[in-house]
Amino acid sequence: MRSCNSIVRAFASLGHDLANVRTNGHLKEEVYVNQLDSFVDPYHPDKVYRLKKALYGLKQGPRAWYDELSNILVSKRFSKGSIDPTLFITKHKGDILLVLIYVDDIIFGSTNPNISKRFEKLIHSKFEMSMMGELKIFLGIQINQSPRGIFINQAKYAQEILIKHGMTSCDSVGSPMATKHLDTDLSGTPIDQTKYRSMVGALMYLIASRPDVMHATCYCARYQAKPTEKHLTAVKRIFRYLKDTIHMGLWYPKDIGFELTAFSDSDHAGCLDLRKSTFGGIQFLDYGFHFDKIPMYCDSKAAIAISCNPVQHSRTKHIDVRYHFIKEKGIIELFFVGADMFTKALPEERFKYLVRRLGMRCLTPEELEVLANESV
């Protein structure tokens, strides 16, 4: 999802659908199949065929296809993502082209439309494919492109899970989580685990474009083993919040730079049951911030002191050498900031204030249509 967001965030994004992808990959392993009933060699009826290429239903098929496409892109001077190997990147004279593959679907975007056209011709020359045009949906994520920016949300999916779990006529609330801590309810009334897990699982997919419900969803996910009525009420509160924010999503404005800013927060033994800590972080890319170094805002003064003070090295031998290298190069600069919304439940007013600062907007289909029809 993060790779998908990175592609659509700043460029006019396009999509391709490839045909018969499983049969394009060359096999490295020796795989044999029986002769077809209608094509048995009468002189060698007991022999079998050795496959040169993958077939549908073959477990090596997806990997063989990925290797085939990867080799082609790497030979064309694309670099493969170190964290996400399905993301390929190439640069040309200050412009960049990002390509993301998911089985037989390819989405790509570039700062230069001509580079996108050249890539399209390259793929057409190698594989049978259909052009889907401007990217509008990918893996259930709706993508709306306009001259002013790109809006990503999952309104359709949110509506589907509200209907599935019977929450379309519920009373709405202004925040997804009550400020009171949720904990194990040993004396509570047990509920159906399958229903509870289904609701939590549905929300887990939604948080790809809804960071505002991430903390509440992850908190409820801790109690899937023995959920009670109290935990079900907490999950239903998230659905009640979704009802009035169904069109909420991530807004990526255009033409405002390409800087990276990071925020990090962690509580200390905040879990009332196991005394484990909760961590949350967010990164802003191309969001109008301008810095010489990558600023990272952290609510721990001790962590900042260890990172910035050379006399603290005796306490940080457990930290990998590569992170010390980042500090020595001065790539990241640390600043202190108060706690954010990823480690604790907040009052409604403060919560809504921070949601806006996350770059989230609530845009209806009518508002998106107006944006799409605006002139550049």
Overall average pLDDT of the 61-88 stretch: 88
pLDDT per residue as tens digits for the range 234-287? 999 999 999 999 999 999 887 666 677 777 777 776 777 777 777 777 777 655
Reply yes or no on whether the pLDDT at 178 is more than 70: yes
Least-confidence region, from 220-234, 265-279, 280-294, 354-368:
280-294
pLDDT at 325: 66
Which token pair is 284? Answer: 């802003």
With bands split at pLDDT 50, 70 and 90, how would you rate the model's confidence at 170? very high
The type of residue at 122 is L
With bands split at pLDDT 50, 70 and 90, how would you rate the model's confidence at 150? confident
Pair 362, 248: CB distance under 8 Å: yes
Pairing of strands 141-146, 105-110: unpaired
% pLDDT > 70, the chain: 78
Instruction: Give the rounded distance of the alpha carbon of 130 from its chain centre.
Output: 25
pTM of the model: 0.73
Helix axes 193-206 and 214-221, enclosed angle (nearest 10) = 150
2-139 — its CATH code? 3.30.70
Reply yes or no on whether the pLDDT at 187 is more than 60: yes
Pair 143, 7: CB distance under 8 Å: no
pLDDT at 241: 97
Pair 238, 350: CB distance under 8 Å: no
With bands split at pLDDT 50, 70 and 90, how would you rate the model's confidence at 214? very high
User: Residue 177 gets which letter from DSSP?
Assistant: S
| pLDDT, mean over the chain | 82
Q: How far is CA 115 from CA 17, 90, 110, 145, in A?
A: 19, 10, 7, 19
Pair 83, 66: CB distance under 8 Å: no
pLDDT at 366: 92
With bands split at pLDDT 50, 70 and 90, how would you rate the model's confidence at 10? very low
The type of residue at 262 is A
